[in-house]
Amino acid sequence: MRSDDPYGYLLVHFVEDRAGHGERIHLSLSEGDDPLRWRRLRGGEPVLETRAGTTGVRDPHVVRRPDGRGFHLVATDLRVWRPQGPDWAEFARHGSRDVVVWDSPDLLTWSEPRHVTVAPPHAGMAWAPEVFHDQDTGVLVLHFAAALYASDDPGHEGPCVPRILTATTRDLVTFTPAETYLELPGGVIDMTAVAVGDEVHRFAKQDDAAPGSWQVFHQAGSSFFNTAFRTLATGLGQGFGPTVEGPLVFPTHDGSRWYLWVDQYGRPPQGYRALTTTDLSSGRWEPVPDDELHLPPHTKHGAVLPLQRGEWKGLARL
């Protein structure tokens, strides 16, 4: 068996914790090559944090560099459970316009966090950043949710309608100016995207209050920047509870099965629930029975990275 054989999975996430400080980066590792059985590394203690910005990080996403020589991790600069308590209106209208970035050669050692301002000055926040490698152009696309306000509304008092913005980069240090990528009535957040064959599949969450809301939906198109995406499924994960968000999607190593996880936050315990399909292009997702997904409760909004055997063995020692 070779160290670069496909084996195991890494989940980066945060933990919802009203009393402590779970808004840091946690790592969970699959038990062997099983994508439905997980344990938190380092005894459940966080692996990364930041003391700058809001001092909290949520919604982490990890990607392998296109050249295979390391990894990037990005996260939302947001601490909800502050001493003065949460204020979602403040977070959305006057929140951080930064994302927090770490780099690693091996998933074991990480750079110091850097805060990069990516949302424009008239934005209220920058939430749920993810990185997509656009093979058509060779660049990395950072996408995130932001509400944009008019130039004559410096107090950001108008309607708060988040949309998906994109900025491109080659190093996650410098970025092009952010541009609008996806808008929906009522707002859209939490987009994730994967390239499979000659298609790009994207998942996101339309606001619950939007008339006829799609909730968590699944679309497919011929390329990331193609405007003619077709909708394959809507209302994904609604059977788990009235409010779900934060979709993540990943394949098994042989590509025979895909998993879609959604973050159920409407009732305790919060955390991920899973759906699965053997045909990604069909848009038909079946729920994974609760007793088959072994994941600690309050495991929140993150990303799953398929690993190589040597990477899994290194992480398993944490």
Helix (H, G, I), strand (E, B) or coil at 245: strand
Q: How far apart are CA 219 and CA 193, in angstroms?
A: 9
Regarding beta strands 26-31 and 179-182, do their DSSP bridges make them parallel or antiparallel, or are they unpaired?
A: unpaired
Number of Cβ atoms within 10 Å of the Cβ of 117: 15
| pLDDT of res. 19 | 84
Domains of the chain: 6-316 (2.115.10.20)
Nearest to 200 by CA among 174, 178, 171, 229: 229
- Report mean pLDDT in 10-residue bins for the chain, 318 residues: 95 92 96 98 97 97 96 98 93 98 98 98 98 95 98 95 98 97 98 97 97 98 96 97 96 97 93 98 97 96 98 98
What was the pLDDT predicted at 18?
86
Backbone angles phi, psi at 216, to 5 degrees: -80, 125
pLDDT computed for residue 172 by the predictor: 97
Token pair, residue 46, equals 């966080």
Please provide residue 71's backbone torsions phi and psi, each rounded to the nearest 5 degrees.
-145, 155
Report the length, in residues, of the chain: 318
Q: What is the pLDDT of residues 144-190, one digit of tens each?
A: 999 999 999 999 999 999 999 999 999 999 999 999 999 999 999 99
In this prediction, residue 1 carries a pLDDT of 84
Q: 180 in helix, strand or coil?
A: strand
Q: b/e string for 173-199 if b means 16 or more Cβ within 10 A?
A: eebeebeebbebebbbbbbbbbeeeeb
